[in-house]
Amino acid sequence: MQVLVRDNNVDQALRVLKKKMQREGLFREMKERRAYEKPSERRVREKAQAISRHRKAARKKMREGLLAGSKRVATTR
């Protein structure tokens, strides 16, 4: 990752660098790697992230009018 410093403006270059790192998910990854994560915890976290991504995509499609509003149907046994 590379950031250009223009006119000796280091503060602006740092802001740009932090924004790039945030976009790449570097801060999140560093936070996750601070401590050991059990494989079972990792699976739970990854599944939750996948569900979150799916819901976000569905919300985006609903906003664009491509997907009808889905309603959950309660089932009884």
- Average pLDDT, integer, range 46-62: 94
CA–CA separation, 47 and 24 (whole Å) = 20
The 10s digit of each residue's pLDDT in 17-40 is: 999 999 999 998 898 899 999 999
Residue 5 carries which DSSP code?
-
Q: Are 21 and 27 in contact (CB under 8 A)?
A: yes
Reduced to 3 states (helix: H, G, I; strand: E, B; else coil), residue 34 is coil
pTM above 0.85, yes or no: no
